[in-house]
Amino acid sequence: MLERFADILWNPWLLGLFLLVGLWCSLRSGFFQLFEFKTWIKCSVGSLFRKKKHKNSFEGKKVGFEAKKRGFGGGLTQFQALATALASTIGTGSIAGVATAIFFGGPGAVFWMWLSALVGLMTSFVEKTLAVKYRHRAAKGGWEGGPMEYLEGRLGWRRAAKWFSLWCVLASLSGGALVQSNSISAALHASFGWDRLAVGVVTALCTGAVVAGGIGRVGKVSEKLVPAMAVLFLGAGGAVIFAHRGELLSTLRLVCTCALNPRAAAGGGLGYTLSQALRYGVARGVFTNEAGVGSSAMAHAAANTDSPAGEGFWGMFETFFATMVVCMVTALAILTSGVYEPGTALAAIRAGTVTGEMTGAPLAGAAFATVFGQWGSAVVALCLLLFAFTSLLGWEYYGERGLSHLLGEGQGRRLFRVLFLLTTAAGSVGGVGQVWALSDISNGLMALPNLLAIAVLAPEALGELKKETAGR
């Protein structure tokens, strides 16, 4: 029932809306993400490699004092905000989600995942820019903001803001707690035979220890873990692709062919349909990079910056890295290694005999095992553990922000944290199909008002882009 409702919601309504809003923002910007690639890369991650131009330590302190005086101090650094956002985006969707999309949607799903990310770059820019522009000071210092702020404060859509916040809380519990915990326990059980409930309880306790310190501690933990886990996964995944480099060109050809003719994946006949490729490709891409959903905008709103468009550039890099880099490595590792066979997958889908060992993290683990042997599943399990744990941290914060907008600042926070941790423990033993369907429903209903707001406010955000790039 959940899967049927998710299909009705996403296919074709939300699938089309995500792509149309992304295309609208891209057209209005003159496809800034493509023609000014060097600009936004240089202004985001490229800034980490440029030395600060302070003549001495006194001048540096003076600049910091002036920033605080203007009201821009006390938040996360821009890198911490990026790491916190990536902590939630580079989660199980980057491994288990990509594997699930390929299994249920065919190789063509990968193409639609990439395309959704390409147009989603500008969607991400707009929502992050608006989140910073319409944020407010937090009671204990720092910044707070997100789609609920510009939905209500800028557009006056009070009910839409409440709707977004409600589904944000539910998405936090489903896509955040349930999905991440489920994937951690499934991976560790498949690799080491560990008890799934015990894994869920330990995961919940570790999550609680971090989120008790608020967004500041989440940011500090994320900026340490996210780079380490990215290097580990990209290094291991790159080794798998290199080992099967002879299949790379044929794999890319298959992905492009199956994007418009998915039945080609099974050699014609009873193959995948275009709607399956679209549904799983776009949905998993959205779940991974969250462009248009509005969740990661809450992390960027906490950044210590006075430039809305500047933070929008960091949002673009977040989407690019999460889907165009990390998800691409997962997809190519699975498809080049040969562990996925379309005919077998289709037969299992039609017969209703799909098991947890055939898709998700185990499928990715099988791909890595072609190079690392018995350690392949262990490598995936470790990466998934880090990915999902950091994702839990980010989504718990998003749930708190949604709850604060519904009930008032700080109201129900402790109760929500307890509920989030209990859901994390319980999610470790749930069925993967039901968990993903519930996550898709929550993300879709949460994204609906945000996408409409982005479409309306895109010209305003792009105005900030012109001001930011005018002097460059």
Q: What is the band of 56 on the pLDDT scale with cuts at 50, 70, 90?
A: very low
Q: Is residue 388 part of a domain?
A: yes
Please tell me which of 32-41, 49-58, 222-231, 342-351 the model is most confident about, judged by mean pLDDT: 32-41
Beta bridge partners of residue 137, listed in sequence order: 143
The answer to whether residues 144 and 302 touch, using CB atoms and an 8 Å cutoff, is yes
Q: Is the pLDDT confidence value at 361 over 70? A: yes
pLDDT tens sequence across 396-427: 989 999 999 999 887 888 899 999 999 999 88
Q: Which amino acid is at 336?
A: T
| pLDDT of 60 | 41
Going by C-alpha positions, the residue among 349, 452, 350 that lies closest to residue 13 is 452
| Long-range contact pairs involving 160-163 (C-beta distance under 8 Å, separation at least 24) | 160/449, 160/452, 160/453, 161/405, 161/449, 162/405, 162/406, 163/445, 163/448, 163/449
Indicate the number of domains in the chain: 1
> What is the average pLDDT score of the chain?
84
| pLDDT of 267 | 52
Q: Is residue 125 part of a domain?
A: yes
Q: Is residue 49 part of a domain?
A: no
Q: Is residue 68 part of a domain?
A: no
Separation in Å, CA 359 to CA 32, 97, 121, 339, 375: 37, 9, 28, 11, 18
Q: Is residue 221 part of a domain?
A: yes
pLDDT tens sequence across 101-141: 888 888 888 998 888 889 999 999 999 999 999 998 887 77
Q: Is residue 64 part of a domain?
A: no
Q: Is residue 32 part of a domain?
A: yes
The answer to whether residues 387 and 95 touch, using CB atoms and an 8 Å cutoff, is yes
pLDDT tens sequence across 182-225: 878 877 887 788 898 999 999 999 999 888 887 778 888 888 88
Q: Is the pLDDT confidence value at 73 over 60? A: no
Q: Is the pLDDT confidence value at 291 over 90? A: no
Query: Domain with 253 in it: what CATH number?
Result: 1.20.1740.10
| pLDDT of 313 | 94
The 3 state secondary structure assigned to 22-46 is HHHHHHHCCCHHHHCHHHHHHHCHH
Q: Which domain holds residue 18?
A: 2-44+77-469
Q: Is the pLDDT confidence value at 11 over 70? A: yes
Q: Which amino acid is at 254?
A: L
Q: Is the pLDDT confidence value at 25 over 70? A: yes
Tokens coding 397: 């914060």
Let me know the angle formed at the C-alpha of 20 by 396 and 459, rounded to the nearest 5 degrees. Answer: 85
Q: What is the band of 367 on the pLDDT scale with cuts at 50, 70, 90?
A: very high
The answer to whether residues 445 and 202 touch, using CB atoms and an 8 Å cutoff, is no
Q: Is residue 459 part of a domain?
A: yes
